[in-house]
């Protein structure tokens, strides 16, 4: 996937490093606002839908400041977090989870050691979605579960309002907040659009199947603004 920042084409891994380092201290507060308070619902739905027994081992990838990690912990699961950003990882407010600095494309774990893997807002930042999915699935045992949260693109009558929100209000809000949010505010709408175009939910679900998952199901939430997906490793 090709992304641009200030007119310069940036490869996805470099983009993630540049984008998240400056916003780490304020990420949780403003991310909630940018999803109009909806992202907590999407994360809860994803974690509730994992259906894992207490004590199961879960890896939360692209964990950032730990919003999903903490939810997993609150379900009595044994969670490890992984993220490529030292700045985001440092800001994580968690009690027990072990945090690992790692990229989703190359996880430092053996095959099948986890009962589940989760990731939130990751796939828009990777070069090769299929290869990344294969790596995420690799570390889950057969029969284990995978859960994802991502932004979606509303369709039909809600699309114009969403377009206006992401193209006008988000950049304006970013410019007001500053501290790196101007770049995020401008980047988010086109990034969600490009991902929805290249990986609409049905196609993404098929890619999950190709990566070794079965029983893949998804739920659009908040008028299509959020996408939650689950699957089981074959
Ligand atoms: C929008 S934040 C989401 C954080 C968290 N999952 C949440 O729900 O709030 C995206 C995170 O993905 C991480 N990230 C992006 N690309 C990555 C990659 N290839 N490997 C690991 N982490 C990555 C970023 O560093 C950032 O912390």
pLDDT at 12: 59
Q: Is 30 in the pocket of ligand 1 (CB under 6 A)?
A: no
pLDDT at 10 over 50: no
Report how far apart, in Å, the C-alpha atoms of 99 and of each of 17, 91, 162 are: 17, 11, 35
What pLDDT band is residue 1 in, cutting at 50, 70 and 90? very low
pLDDT at 215: 98
Centroid of ligand 1 to alpha carbon of 88 (angstroms): 8
Please tell me the distance from the alpha carbon of residue 68 to that of residue 70, in angstroms, as a whole number. 5
Residue 222 in tokens: 């908040």
Q: pTM of the prediction?
A: 0.93
**Of 91, 122, 123, 229, which is best to mutate to test ligand 1, by the most ligand atoms within 8 angstroms of its C-beta?**
122
- Summarised one tens digit per residue, pLDDT across range 51-90 is 999 999 999 999 999 999 999 999 999 999 999 999 999 9
Please tell me the distance from the alpha carbon of residue 122 to that of residue 129, in angstroms, as a whole number. 10
Q: Is 135 in the pocket of ligand 1 (CB under 6 A)?
A: no
pLDDT at 7: 45
Q: What is the total count of domains within the chain?
A: 1
Centroid of ligand 1 to alpha carbon of 124 (angstroms): 10
Q: Which domain covers residue 11, as residue numbers?
A: 3-233
Which of the two residues, 15 and 49, has the higher pLDDT score?
A: 49
Residue 64 Cα: closest atom of ligand 1 = 27
- Summarised one tens digit per residue, pLDDT across range 143-180 is 999 999 999 999 888 999 999 999 988 888 888 887 78
Q: Whose CA is nearest to atom 2 of ligand 1?
A: 64
Q: What is the 3-state secondary structure (H, E, C) of the chain?
A: CCEEECCEEECHHHHHHHHHHHHHHHHHHHHHHHCCCCHHHHHHHHHHCCCCCCCCEEEEECCCCCHHHHHHHHCCCEEEEEECCHHHHHCCCCCCCEEEECECCECCCCCCCEEEEEEECCHHHCCCHHHHHHHHHHCEEEEEEEEEEEECCCCHHHHHHHHHHHHHHHHHHHHHHCCCHHHHHHHHHHHHHHHHHHCCHHHHHHHHHHCCEEEEEEEEEHHHCEEEEEEEEC
- Angle made by CA atoms 95, 15, 140, in degrees to the nearest 5: 50
pLDDT at 96: 66
CA-closest candidate to residue 188, choices 68, 27, 66, 35: 35
Please give the mean pLDDT across all residues of the chain. Answer: 91
- Summarised one tens digit per residue, pLDDT across range 11-46 is 456 778 888 888 898 898 888 887 889 999 999 999
Percent of the chain whose predicted confidence (pLDDT) is above 90: 71
pLDDT at 219 over 60: yes
Centroid of ligand 1 to alpha carbon of 101 (angstroms): 11
CATH assignment of the domain containing 99: 3.40.50.150
């Amino acid at each position: 996937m090709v992304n641009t920042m200030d007119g310069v084409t940036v490869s996805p891994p470099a983009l993630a490093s540049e984008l998240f380092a400056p916003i780490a201290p304020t990420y949780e507060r403003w991310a909630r606002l940018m999803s109009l308070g909806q992202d907590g619902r999407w994360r809860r739905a994803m974690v509730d839908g994992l259906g894992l027994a207490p004590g199961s081992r879960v890896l939360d990838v692209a964990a950032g400041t730990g919003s999903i990690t903490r939810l997993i912990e609150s379900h009595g699961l044994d969670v490890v977090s992984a993220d490529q950003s030292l700045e985001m990882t440092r800001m994580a407010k968690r009690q027990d989870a072990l945090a690992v600095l790692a990229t989703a494309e190359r996880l430092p774990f053996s095959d099948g050691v986890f009962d589940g893997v989760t990731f939130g807002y990751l796939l828009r930042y990777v070069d090769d979605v299929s290869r990344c999915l294969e790596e995420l699935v690799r570390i889950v045992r057969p029969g284990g579960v995978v859960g994802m949260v991502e932004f979606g693109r509303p369709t039909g009558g809600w699309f114009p309002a969403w377009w206006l929100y992401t193209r006008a209000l988000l950049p304006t809000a970013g410019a007001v907040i500053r501290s790196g949010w101007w770049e995020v505010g401008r980047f988010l709408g086109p990034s969600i659009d490009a991902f929805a175009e290249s990986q609409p939910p049905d196609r993404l679900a098929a890619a999950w199947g190709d990566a070794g998952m079965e029983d893949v199901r998804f739920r659009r939430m908040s008028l299509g603004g959020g996408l939650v997906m689950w699957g089981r490793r074959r």
